[in-house]
Amino acid sequence: MYIVDSYVLAVILCFVTMICWGSWGNTQKLAAKSWRYELFYWDYVIGMVLFALLLGCTLGSNGEEGRPFLTDLAQGDKASFLYVLLGGAIFNASNILLSASVSMAGMTVAFPLGVGIALVLGVVVNYLGTPSGDWRLLALGVLCVVCAIVFNAKASARMNKGSGEQASHSRKGIVVAILAGVLMSLFYRFVVLGMDINNFTSPADGKLTPYSAIFIFSIGVLLSNFLFNTLAMRFPFVGEPVEYGAYFRGSLATHATGMLGGCIWCLGTGLSYIASGQAGPAISYALGQGAPMVAALWGIFVWREFRGASRSVNALLLEMFVFFIAGLALIIVAGM
């Protein structure tokens, strides 16, 4: 299988993760023109599972180091499988909430708030579990991200001062994004517990490699989706309940858009797991969770979610980007 053998390459892969995690939401925005996010999410999960299998059969099965994908799956023990499956279920609950918040508050608000909170809490959880890098620089980088979140929240508040249904949905979306962020901070740690993070070349018996872990993780997402997304369909945050029959009335292009979103997210996550051997779980996770900056760029320049914003709101958005960039830079240096 393919294994990263340098910190620099690991950081590059983490930046690809950041782009993927910050960009998959665009597929939801595209599908939302004629498609409920609960229906979109089924295609998203299917795309995730298919791409995880593809990743395992290609990068995970070629190369001179480590165990091949299928061999690694066959030797995994019960505990490793359960940890990774649980990580998938926790992620799924958080991501459904994040998708709901995007539909209510917009991509520029939901992503920076939800994923930013996940970054702060997730770095703490993963660092305590597997310490790596200079904790002082890492903490300073996280502090910068917290400042960026505050600036984004202020900009959002100034854009949503009005009353009415749209403002109510926006406020509800912010609350849901916070809940999503807290849950999302936990999933990565459970996946790491199922892998031998210190040795991907000759991992301990029963432990999984990144390629088998991302596949089992995606299965955990799929299985839990029958519970979590069914509840979201019956008791939606916005709109009327939706039936399963509606899913089969979607066009091929609509289904393909959702699956593409799952593929994009899975690519980013797989690369994050691969990079974690060199960068460490805390730094790998932290860099990938720079996704809010990418999402905010999409929201501002493509989806025009801050169209007509005042000069003070634009200044807050600029400060958000500055602090995010500074935070990411400090996190990278922390691992050197």
Helices 135-159 and 291-301, packing angle to 10 deg? 30
335 in Cβ contact with 136 (< 8 Å): no
pLDDT tens digits along 299-336: 788 888 788 888 999 999 899 889 988 998 998 899 88
Neighbour-count burial for 81-102, b at 16+ CB within 10 Å, e otherwise: bebbbbbbbbbbbbbbbbbbbb
pLDDT tens digits along 124-182: 898 998 898 899 999 999 889 888 878 877 787 677 655 444 555 677 888 888 899 99
pLDDT tens digits along 70-98: 999 999 999 999 999 999 999 999 988 88
CA distances (Å), origin 175, targets 182, 194, 281? 11, 31, 28
Average pLDDT along the chain = 88
Q: List Cβ neighbours of 163 (8 Å cut-off, separation of 6 or more).
A: none
